[in-house]
Structure 1
Amino acid sequence: MPSNGHSETRERGLLSPEVVFERLPGVVYVTDTADRLLAWNDGFAAFTGYDDDALASMERSDVLRSTTADHADGDETTVHGTVRTASGEEVSCEYTERQLTDEAGIVVGRCGVVHPLDVPSESAPSTQHDGTRGFESAVASIPDVALVHLTSTGGILTWNEGARRLHGYRPDEILGQHVSVLYTPDDVDAGVPDRLLAEAETDGHAEAEGWCVRKDGSSFWATVGLTPVSDDQGRHGGFTLLLRDSTFQHEQAIRLRRQQDELEALNLLSDLVRTLVRHVAEGSTQESIEQVVCQRLAGADRYLSAVVVELELDGERLTSRVSAGDDGAHDAITQAARDSGLAMSTGEVFRTNHSLAPVAFSTDSEVPDSVRRVAADYGVSAALAVPLSFGDTVYAVLVVYSADSMAFTEREQSGFEVLGRTVGFAMNASQNLALLFADSLVELEFRSTDRSSFFVDLSIRYACTCRLDGQVLAADDRLLQYVTVTGVDPTTVLELAEAREEFQAVRLVTAEEDSCLLEIAVSISGLKRLLDVGAYVRSAVIEDGVATIVADIAKGQNVRSVVRAFQSVYPDSTLVSKRDYDRPTHTVSEFRQQLAGNLTDRQRAALRTAYLAGYFDWPRGSTAEEVATAMDISSATLHYHLRRAQYELIEMYLNEGDG
């Protein structure tokens, strides 16, 4: 390095720090406390146009002149000014200086870096790569960059201010140690420092990113560059290590990647919802719907596996029904959690119809070590359990596993909740379609003595009989039930029914001395829950405190989910029988013959005449009086015959649908 009173020295065959300084890219200089130039690199001489002899006799102010006030940041100062070149040209620039101190902390000079703002092409300083500006900043001891000279075996020879501030070591604490002291124990065990030295020596340069360690044991993400240095004879003289704190950039990259992963997950869930709607339109089975969901989730990069589980009739045991990508992790983790008492029971999802908070096995302090080890053995870092439900009925629970501990963000959880409701809707639609078109049915008979049921309690208190005549699902998701009660005063029944909170509306349709027909609107009941899971209630009779309910489901439908749905409203109930039977088929001709047999000649004549005369059209083609006149009967007689004929027709239609 050209200097005033300094010469190049070589120790142990290595380049001295002065030689390294001389070969730095950019425009760098050093002054003493009297502002005399002591040292400069080749870039400084080339930019100013002065030779080494001229610069050795000059002060900094002969070359650099400020045009604005100094901006100080600690012991670092940035100045806007000009450089007077040897040709007399004034070149705009910005230069940054930092104090140089000796071992006693006494200021002995300043080190500066010049950033030209308007560089003449003939005097532009040379640059070796796009990182010149970062290298200059390292020399100027910017806090997040370290510049270190290493021996050929990785020993630390020099330690600049940036290295001290970044790692926390003073020069006397670090000089002579191997560069591996800056790396994590895992990287040292893996041979990362030695591998980088060998790569730099072989390829002329090596770069890497990873965690580095400070003196206090804390870590930061670093970008590392290693370049071999040769002496004038071309002999290997060690390495220059440039190390930058890239923690902020690393965290930004992680955040961006997580956002991208989350967006991909949301797109997947949205696409899966659209796919399920198509499957409903195509009449897919419940099992095929579950398989599509599991396979699509397990096939995504973000998730490892997906499992659909159902609750056994005992309300405690869980059984895997459909899965994809599962290599035994679900059963192993579930068993480990059960053994340790971890409150992540999927059964809770069945009981509450709410998703469990995601479990982060690798980071959640509440996860027992035994569970964490099992999850780690299978590469699982997080899990989410989502109910597959329609209304208040939970058909099954979807459990999804991921290798990413940051999976299942709040937005992602919301997407899974929508998916769970969509799957539940698809399951319900699938079961209803199957029941509607199935040739083979399964008859289930339930028996309940649960006194929380209004009609069970009524039959005990008044020794009456209650019989379900029929029920209709209204547009507002209320169930209208029509129940005939015999053996008790209708007024008493109405008063007791109106006092029940679970009944949204009560109406006395017909009333006699000790019997009545009651219309009740409910949103929650055992019979409605059976409808929700795709069952059709054929009959319900309650007497002497025992309710006997007969319902049909399509063959192949999950019986457990139907029983569990009914027991969720009336726990004190049991399934007492189950039998398969074929739905009787009736041809149109048989239907017409049966209907004709149920109608009198007068009723058939009235119905046909009214139809042909346009009485049932809108607007009417004929009035009742006109039809009655044509038949030569009174209007009252016509209305009587029409009502009886319509009643027979509707009753046959509804009974045909029930059968």
Structure 2
Amino acid sequence: MTASVRVLHVDDDREFTSLTAAYLEEEHEEFTVEGEPDAARALTRLREEAFDCVVSDYEMPQMSGLDFLREAREVDPDLPIIFFTGRGSEDVAAEAISAGVTDYLQKRGHEQYALLGNRIRNYVAKRRAEEERLRGYEAIERAREGISILDDEGRFVYTNRAFADLVGYGREELLGQHWELLYREQDREQVYEEQLPAATDGGWTGRTVFQRKDGDLVLTNHSLSYTDEGELISVAQDITDDERRRRELLEAKRFESLVGAVTEYAVFMLDTEGRVVTWNDGAEEIEGYTQEEVVGEHISLFHTADEVDAGAPDDLLERALADGSAEAEGWRVRRDGGRFWAHVVVTPVYDDDGTHQGFAKVTRDMTERRARENELKAQRETLAAANRMKAVLRDVLRRMVDDSSRADIERDVCERLTAEGPYLFAVSGDYDETGRFAVRHASGIDADAATYVFDHLPVATTVARAVEGGTVEVQHVDSEAVDLDHELAEAIRSVVFIPLTYQDTTYGLVALCSTSASYLTDDERSALEDVGSTAGYGIRAVETERLLQADGVVELVFETTDADDPLVGLVDGGGAARLDRLVPINEGQYLVYATLDGVSPAATVAAVTSNPAATDATVVHEDDGGDGGVLAVTVCRSLVSHLADAGAKVHTTETTDDSLRVVADVSPTADVARLVDGVGTAFPTARLVSKRQVARPVKRTRAVAETVESQLTERQLAALQAAYHGGYFERPRRQTAEDVAETMGISASTFHQHLRIALETVLTELFD
């Protein structure tokens, strides 16, 4: 079977349909199996979609299998419908057959899946062959030549209208009549002695005089040939009129030229042992052998060495003898050693006495078509996977609006991903320095079972790679090589690890256990990374919110002498500096407002901008005398920006000569140990000076501020903060709108737009 086969499996047991689909699609690459647990919805899909076969359970809660079968037959009387059920008895089978079921199989073990796949393949092939036969009859009906088909007794079983018109009979008058009706008595002997024997031996072509119903005679160009089923095909062209004869002869020549030019099919005969007897131009074009080189050779010449060793050529001939024909697809070998993907049909040929004479073999080169089908299939699967992941991302974003904790976010991500694709279950968890994955939440499996699975899977290397690179990583699982004793665990073929990351901080991992061992497409990987970064952002947001609302916080004090940190060199050579405000302006970039004491802001600008970690520095205000003022520095790598990205609230910094001291608050529920480890990794010279629990009362205006911040975008809030701390609202102004916009890396018009919206939001909250 060359084309794809779409199967609808109707069964209320979702796990069974998934396992059935997995087996059938693995064993038959042309199969696409879609499970449908609801019989009523399955009927709707049959009316609206095209399926090649239906596999249905017998007992279902919404509708019995028999009721489903009867309604499905109203939709498509000829659609193959197979009952695949655990309930079995002769009465049940008889009732199903009486209702019009195509076949009936019981769920009795692994071998039944193989039997089911073969039955599907055979029934679909049979239906398509019948459809092809009908299309062939339609083509014959439109033909100008007179075409008729006779059975093995020589009686007409079919004629097209052209043949009926040629001999002057109605088609109904000819059906069932013997061919002798159309011949004069003196011509019948030649038919028996010359024409029919020649037709048996490859075909006969010549001239025939037919006697019409009205007694007139008509001269025809006539050909006779037998089909593999023993039917006799008669094709006749009227050449009575010379002018018409010339036209028909011309068309015949053109037709012969066209047939000779078609090289898509290799058509040749084999003897009873499988040796080549005849060879056409198409065979020479496809296989590469001339007739002289190949006649007498066994068909194993065209098979790969592995297939020859396995006995595939002889098996193909034996199947053809046993079943009436045999069909196969696979790699074949040309004369030059090159391979091509072939679709092969072998049919046994018999004489009038039923003696086996050999085989007819038709081979088609399907290499390009198969490549196109595989490419289209891959594109469809890629698009479907990408759309599925986009839907997941949208749903996760919608759910995160109402989430108030890290546990809520992880639960939503796991549950949403478990509902999509080939994932058996999803878990969230933490990791340690050894790469061990510790389960915190599970969806689709209980937590104890999930813990059992990850205690036995060797995932340390993959976990470390996902965490260190902040990337989605896949680990394939050989369940036979891993000691897993759990129903779901045995079905695992791969694990996908998704880091929940915001900026440079990873808050944990989500692991997806899948029944598929295939790799992730670029679109799938990108979508999963978006899910991870979105969840990481959400976790940071809820932890920051909890920090802002907490009456008590954990105060952390760090010191660093890292010369690569631009804030360490703010007062190089004397003086001091303190942090006024930290404003996020872009991903990984922060605008730091610092007050200088005992040092020139202009001189500091020159020193700071030489540091690659500081992309810009601007003097906001300079004190009289030039020994102090306010400086705005844009940093992309600093201890303060690292802490802010990790969810800490930096509220105090002190910079002295060659040293930076940072005080930051984190939520009491934050993973302080991980944050400190992250600081040590990113800034080796930084050290934790102190850690203590402190009470920080919430400011009276905090409620208003929280409401305003929730209504503004990050860029609008950053513009408002930068304007305030840059002295835009002071009189006289320390910085103009153009100055503030330049520090943010945006245009003045964009800054004005952000600022107007932010001010309107603040005033509305205060006065409405």
Equivalent of residue 202 in structure 2, options 21, 24, 27: 21
- Is the 2:593–2:633 Cα contact (8 Å) retained in structure 1? no
Residue identity opposite 1:65 in structure 2:
R
Equivalent of residue 41 in structure 1, options 225, 240, 243: 225
Residue identity opposite 1:542 in structure 2:
T
CA gap of 1:424–1:416, structure 2 versus 1, over 3 A, is same
Q: CA deviation at 1:504?
A: 3.0
CA gap of 1:279–1:227, structure 2 versus 1, over 3 A, is same
Within 2, Cα distance between the matches of 1:466 and 1:273? 44
Q: Is 2:533 the counterpart of 1:533?
A: no
Q: CA deviation at 1:493?
A: 4.8
- Is the 1:431–1:554 Cα contact (8 Å) retained in structure 2? yes
Q: CA deviation at 1:271?
A: 0.9
Within 1, Cα distance between the matches of 2:198 and 2:685? 88
Q: Secondary structure at the match of 1:165?
A: helix
Q: CA deviation at 1:253?
A: 1.2
CA gap of 1:171–1:442, structure 2 versus 1, over 3 A, is farther
Q: Secondary structure at the match of 2:569?
A: helix
Equivalent of residue 256 in structure 1, options 367, 370, 376: 376
Gap runs ≥5 in structure 2: 1-187, 208-220, 445-449, 483-489, 704-768
Q: CA deviation at 1:512?
A: 7.7
Q: Deviations over 1:129-169 (max 9, x none)?
A: xxxxxxxx5xx473221123234454444333322221123
Q: Is 2:557 the counterpart of 1:445?
A: yes
Name 2:303's counterpart in structure 1. 183
Name 1:269's counterpart in structure 2. 389
Equivalent of residue 340 in structure 2, options 217, 220, 226: 220
Within 2, Cα distance between the matches of 1:16 and 1:444? 103
Q: Secondary structure at the match of 1:233?
A: coil
Within 1, Cα distance between the matches of 2:320 and 2:653? 85
Q: Secondary structure at the match of 2:394?
A: helix
Name 1:553's counterpart in structure 2. 666
Name 2:363's counterpart in structure 1. 243
Gap runs ≥5 in structure 1: 10-14, 31-36, 68-79, 84-92, 98-112, 114-136, 339-343, 362-372, 592-659
Name 1:128's counterpart in structure 2. none
Q: CA deviation at 1:267?
A: 0.4
Within 2, Cα distance between the matches of 1:162 and 1:17? 24
Q: Is 2:545 the counterpart of 1:433?
A: yes
Equivalent of residue 579 in structure 2, options 465, 468, 484: 468
CA gap of 1:181–1:490, structure 2 versus 1, over 3 A, is closer
Within 1, Cα distance between the matches of 2:250 and 2:344? 33
Q: Is 2:249 the counterpart of 1:65?
A: no
Name 1:481's counterpart in structure 2. 592
Q: CA deviation at 1:270?
A: 1.0
CA gap of 1:163–1:498, structure 2 versus 1, over 3 A, is closer
- Is the 1:29–1:41 Cα contact (8 Å) retained in structure 2? no
Q: Secondary structure at the match of 2:263?
A: coil
The share of aligned pairs that are identical, in percent, is 28
CA gap of 1:543–1:511, structure 2 versus 1, over 3 A, is same
Within 2, Cα distance between the matches of 1:424 and 1:190? 55
- Is the 1:155–1:179 Cα contact (8 Å) retained in structure 2? yes
- Is the 1:151–1:237 Cα contact (8 Å) retained in structure 2? yes
Within 1, Cα distance between the matches of 2:443 and 2:245? 71
Within 2, Cα distance between the matches of 1:379 and 1:500? 54
Within 2, Cα distance between the matches of 1:240 and 1:311? 65
Number of aligned residues: 473
Q: Secondary structure at the match of 1:226?
A: strand
Q: CA deviation at 1:281?
A: 0.6
- Is the 2:569–2:608 Cα contact (8 Å) retained in structure 1? no
- Is the 1:508–1:516 Cα contact (8 Å) retained in structure 2? no
Within 1, Cα distance between the matches of 2:327 and 2:420? 32
CA gap of 1:186–1:391, structure 2 versus 1, over 3 A, is same
- Is the 1:156–1:176 Cα contact (8 Å) retained in structure 2? yes
Name 2:99's counterpart in structure 1. none
Q: CA deviation at 1:509?
A: 4.6
Name 1:95's counterpart in structure 2. 255
CA-atom RMSD in angstroms: 5.6
Residue identity opposite 1:237 in structure 2:
Q
Name 1:200's counterpart in structure 2. 320
CA gap of 1:561–1:267, structure 2 versus 1, over 3 A, is farther
Within 1, Cα distance between the matches of 2:626 and 2:653? 20
Q: Deviations over 1:572-608 (max 9, x none)?
A: 32345556x47567798xx9xxxxxxxxxxxxxxxxx
Q: Deviations over 1:29-51 (max 9, x none)?
A: 89xxxxxx99853699832268x
Q: CA deviation at 1:264?
A: 0.6
Q: CA deviation at 1:252?
A: 1.8
- Is the 2:543–2:647 Cα contact (8 Å) retained in structure 1? yes
CA gap of 1:42–1:177, structure 2 versus 1, over 3 A, is closer
Within 1, Cα distance between the matches of 2:426 and 2:334? 42
- Is the 1:490–1:513 Cα contact (8 Å) retained in structure 2? no
Q: Secondary structure at the match of 1:95?
A: helix
Residue identity opposite 1:46 in structure 2:
S
CA gap of 1:553–1:329, structure 2 versus 1, over 3 A, is same
Q: Deviations over 1:465-522 (max 9, x none)?
A: 4333443446998644343444556675566557767263433557488974534242
Q: Secondary structure at the match of 2:353?
A: coil
Q: Secondary structure at the match of 1:255?
A: helix
Equivalent of residue 268 in structure 2, options 121, 131, 148: 148
- Is the 2:389–2:528 Cα contact (8 Å) retained in structure 1? yes
Within 1, Cα distance between the matches of 2:455 and 2:285? 46
Q: CA deviation at 1:244?
A: 1.0
Q: CA deviation at 1:553?
A: 2.6
Residue identity opposite 1:265 in structure 2:
A
Within 1, Cα distance between the matches of 2:676 and 2:197? 85
Q: Secondary structure at the match of 1:249?
A: helix
Q: CA deviation at 1:406?
A: 7.7
Q: Secondary structure at the match of 2:385?
A: helix
Larger Rg: 1
Q: CA deviation at 1:257?
A: 0.7
Within 1, Cα distance between the matches of 2:627 and 2:198? 109
Q: CA deviation at 1:234?
A: 1.9
Equivalent residues in 2 for 1:183-582, closer than 5 Å: 183-188=303-308, 192-283=312-403, 285-286=405-406, 289=409, 301=421, 320=437, 349-350=469-470, 390=502, 408-409=521-522, 415=527, 418-419=530-531, 421-437=533-549, 441-458=553-570, 461-462=573-574, 464-473=575-584, 479-486=590-597, 488=599, 493=604, 496=607, 502=614, 504-507=616-619, 509=621, 511=623, 516=628, 518-524=630-636, 525-543=638-656, 545-559=658-672, 562-563=675-676, 566=679, 570-575=683-688, 581=693
The structure with more helix, counted as a fraction of residues:
2
Name 1:610's counterpart in structure 2. none
- Is the 1:494–1:508 Cα contact (8 Å) retained in structure 2? no
- Is the 2:643–2:650 Cα contact (8 Å) retained in structure 1? yes
Within 2, Cα distance between the matches of 1:260 and 1:486? 65
CA gap of 1:179–1:281, structure 2 versus 1, over 3 A, is same
Q: Deviations over 1:268-309 (max 9, x none)?
A: 221122122123212264566456656766775578999999
Name 1:125's counterpart in structure 2. none
CA gap of 1:171–1:347, structure 2 versus 1, over 3 A, is farther
- Is the 1:490–1:512 Cα contact (8 Å) retained in structure 2? no
Residue identity opposite 1:208 in structure 2:
A
